[in-house]
Amino acid sequence: MSDKQIDEFSGVSTTGHEWDGIKELDNPMPRWWLIVYYATIVWAVAYMIAYPAWPLLRTATTGLLGYSSRSEIKTELDAAKASKADYIAAIASKSVTEILADEKLRTFAAAAGAAAFKVNCVQCHGSGAQGSPGYPNLNDDDWLWGGTPQQIQQTITHGIRYAEDPNTRLSEMPAFGDILKPKEINDVANFVASLSGKAENASAADIAAGKEVFAQNCAACHGDNAKGNHEVGAPNLTDAIWFYGSTPAAIAAQVRAPRHGVMPAWGVRLGDTTVKELTVYVHSLGGGE
């Protein structure tokens, strides 16, 4: 620390502070900087008076302008809702077929259905509708109950094996463990696996025996060609799409003690309009019929 003095090089008075031989000059602030600084103070005071600023016990000062971010958001939401009202009314009054025939209405319904799907359906079908073991993939063209818009709407509205809806889709595969002998179950499992090339280790005799068991016990639902039946929700057994596994062992387990999935009835929960939007979205994924 030293006394104030005039710097010999700049001619400016020092503050009297010195560090490691470096002296601090007592230069005034630039005028433009001071003007900006004072302007910000004035602006801050004016802002506190005009807008909500000071917190109180249960609320805050409202300000002279009475501004509220909640009111602003509500206004924006009301405007957005009003802009969609015509589309929503049209969807409510039209059938799914009519909605699909109208490009603008179809685009709006698909977007709304995608939002509803993310809230209500991804928990089971996945964020990309790709499904998982026991939950169907909605992107392919394999449908237990049919993939037309009307069939999809029926499934979404009333669900599958949903006891609280009298119109739910209902079918159950018998537990053949109580009907067939163990060898018969293994034979028919090998035959079914062979339809999609998954029975490499099975003998021709076992497959032939399994074909006979299939004709006597399974063809009534799955069809003589094992292509399935939409009317009873019987799956196609000749493709590579499986709920619970495609190996002979997995198929035998399903034949012996079948698992049955349950889907809620969304009609009451979501309403007819949202169900139509979901129908359009699911049908648009690429696997609709």
DSSP string, 97-122: HHHHHSHHHHHHHHHHHHHHHHHHTH
pLDDT at 71: 87
Both tokens of 113, joined, read 């259905």
Q: Which whole number is the average pLDDT over 236-250?
A: 92
Instruction: Please count the other Cβ atoms lying within 10 Å of the Cβ belonging to residue 270.
Output: 19
Under CATH, which number does the domain 182-256 receive? 1.10.760.10
245: which residues sit within 8 A by CB, 6+ positions away? Answer: 133, 251, 253, 254
Q: Is the pLDDT of residue 247 over 50?
A: yes
Q: Is the pLDDT of residue 7 over 90?
A: no
Q: What is the pLDDT of residues 206-225, one digit of tens each?
A: 999 999 999 999 999 999 99
pLDDT at 2: 53
Under CATH, which number does the domain 73-167+263-286 receive? 1.10.760.10
Instruction: Please count the other Cβ atoms lying within 10 Å of the Cβ belonging to residue 251.
Output: 24
pLDDT at 115: 96
Q: Is the pLDDT of residue 1 over 60?
A: no
pLDDT at 250: 94
Give the whole-angstrom CA distance, residue 223 versus residue 1. Answer: 102
> In which band, very low, low, confident or very high, does the pLDDT at 277 lie, cut at 50, 70 and 90?
very high
pLDDT at 275: 98
Give the whole-angstrom CA distance, residue 214 versus residue 251. Answer: 13
Q: Where in the chain is CATH 1.10.760.10?
A: 73-167+263-286, 182-256
| Mean predicted lDDT score pLDDT of the chain | 92
Q: Which long-range contacts (CB under 8 A, 24 or more apart) does 234-239 make?
A: 234/144, 234/171, 234/173, 235/142, 235/144, 236/142, 237/192, 237/195, 237/196, 238/195, 238/196, 239/142, 239/196
Which residue is it, tokens 């394999």? 142
> Is the alpha carbon torsion for 238, 240, 242, 246 positive or negative?
positive
Q: Is the pLDDT of residue 39 over 80?
A: yes
> Is the alpha carbon torsion for 210, 212, 218, 222 positive or negative?
positive
Q: Which whole number is the average pLDDT over 166-187?
A: 95
Percent of the chain with pLDDT over 90: 71
pLDDT at 88: 94
Rounded to a whole number, what is the distance in angstroms from the first to the last CA of the chain? 89
The helix/strand/coil state of 182 is: helix
